[in-house]
Amino acid sequence: MTKADIVNEISRSTGLEKAAVLTTVEKFMEVVKDSMAHGENVYLRGFGSFIVKTRKEKTARNISKNTTIIIPEHKVPAFKPAKTFIEDVR
């Protein structure tokens, strides 16, 4: 399902205009992305959590050049679904 499919489905089921639904969906994604960029987690009860995970520093190898490099500690976005979400998918 794409963003356009989501907008169409919400528009069809609520009776709202597609343009208004598209603006709302895009703003939601922007707020989640900005919150996570500032290190804040986003919790949606019954759906899941968008969390920021910290990956520790590690050593990696470049096999073709036979060298090792250090990958510094960094943050990555993650999604953890709620229990009800997992049960519905199963």
Where exactly are the structural domains of the chain?
1-39, 41-90
- pLDDT grade for 36, boundaries at 50, 70 and 90: very high
23 contacts 11 by C-beta, under 8 angstroms:
no
Q: Which fold has domain 41-90?
A: HU Protein; Chain A (4.10.520)
pLDDT at 65: 87
Q: Which of 55, 50, 39, 54 is nearest to 80 (CA)?
A: 50
Q: What is the pLDDT of residues 51-60, one digit of tens each?
A: 999 999 999 9
